[in-house]
Amino acid sequence: MNRQRIVISLAFLLFAFALILTTGRATVEPAIDGVVVDKAGKPIPGVTVTVYLQGKAIEPTTTGDRGNYSIRVDADKGPITSIEYYRSDYGLGSVAFVSAARKSTINKVLVNQNQTSSYAEMEAQIGALDLAYINARANNVPFEDFKRKYRPVIDALNKGGMVWAGGRWRIREGDAYELIEEEYNKMSPSDFEHKPIEKRPKN
C-alpha cells in the first residue's frame, strides 16, 4: 500500500514538474522573429531591432549575416506597442502594435535612405522617425543621445526648405537641430504614457 502511494505521489510530482516546464517554455519562446532585407530582397546584417512593450524598450537584438533576428518577449508585460528596425546607412523602419501573446514572423524591408525614390518610401521614413521620437521621450532619452543616434535619418529628411521637428514639419528658421530640440523638450515622458485619453468637453 505504501509503495502504491509512493508511485502515485511520484507520478503526480512528475506531472506537475512537466506542467511547470511547459508553462515556462511558452513564455520564453521567441515571440517575434524574421528577416530584414532591402528592396531587392538581399538580407541586411547588423540591423538593430528593438521591441517596445507598453512604450518601454526591452533589450535589443541585431540581425545576423542572413538578416535574421529573434526576440523573446514576456507576454504578461502587455502588448508590443512598436518594433524598431535601424541601421544608420539603411534608414529606419517600424511596425506598430503586435501581439506579444502569439508568435509572429515579420520580414521587414528597409529602404536605403540615400536611395529613396518614392513618396511612399519617404513617408515610411517620416512615420518611423516620429515613432522613434515618441519612444525616446517615453524612455527619457536625452536629446543629445536621440540626435546622435538618428542624425543620418534626420539629415536625409531635412535636405529641403522644411525641417522635421518632433512629429511635425516647420519652415526652416535657423539651425534645424535647435528647432527639433525645442519641440523635443516641450514634452515630458509622462505625456507619452499608454493610458486612456480623457474625453474633451463638447463646445
Per-residue pLDDT tens digits for 41-93: 999 999 999 999 888 888 899 999 999 999 988 877 778 899 999 999 888 99
Predicted local distance difference test score (pLDDT) of residue 27: 47
CATH class for the domain made up of 28-192? mainly beta
CA proximity to 167, closest of 123, 120, 129: 129
SS3 of 104-131: EECCEECCCHHHCCCHHHHHHHHHHHHH
* Residue 106 near residue 95, CB atoms below 8 Å: yes
What is the residue type of 148? R
Is the entire prediction scored with pTM above 0.85? no
Predicted local distance difference test score (pLDDT) of residue 60: 93
Extents of the domains making up the chain: 28-192
